Structure 1
């Protein structure tokens, strides 16, 4: 009986451990730059509990992803430019255009 209980507990632990996704850093290899005209989106991930480094991932127009070196001047310029573009887009969405009166 004791062995059966141990087996059931072990089986339950195995199922629980194998069903959870263990997250890790997404960028194993980084590039120093990419062609700017092919970038469609930029995501910046700061240090997280499961990844001890900052990651910058660009999505290209052909839906591929590339990891950029967060320390390179190119990457810092791309991130800054995307922040400015997003701020301008947010401003446009919040600005109302007055309707002409008759």
Structure 2
């Protein structure tokens, strides 16, 4: 009887989901591809986030002067690539 109870307990523990393991969810700041072009005269700051464990894609976020509104720039657009080249030259 004890062996049967032990087998049932072991079967239950093996079938239960393991706690402490989280599902892999990306936590990217940008949703969607982003803007293809921005007016640089209106931009106050540009932040570049490289791929990381929390987000597998590169993100470019521009903050506009005065309003503080943030817009995502498409890093695969020609404009986005030119912005990346300019930032790397600094």
TM range (shorter): 0.5 to 0.7
Q: Deviations over 1:2-26 (max 9, x none)?
A: xxxxxxxxxxx9xxxxxxxx87100
- The higher-RCO structure (CA 8 Å, 6+ apart) is 2
Please, which runs of 5 or more residues in structure 2 have no aligned partner?
A: 1-18, 20-24
The equivalent of 1:53 in structure 2 is 57
CA contact (8 A) 2:26 2:56 kept: no
C-alpha separation between the residues in 1 aligned to 2:54 and 2:35? 22
Offset from partner CA, 1:26-51 (integer Å, 9 cap, x none)? 00031111112111111111111011
> Which residue, 27, 31, 41 being the options, matches 2:30?
27
State the superposition RMSD in angstroms: 2.0
Unaligned runs of 5+ in 1: 1-12, 14-21, 88-102
Q: Which has the higher helix share?
A: 1
The TM-score, its normalising length taken from structure 1, stands at 0.55
Q: How does 1:33-48 map to 2 (within 5 A)?
A: 33-48=37-52
How many pairs does the alignment contain? 65
Match of 2:76 among 51, 63, 71: 71
Q: For 2:54 and 2:83, how far apart are their aligned partners in 1? A: 25
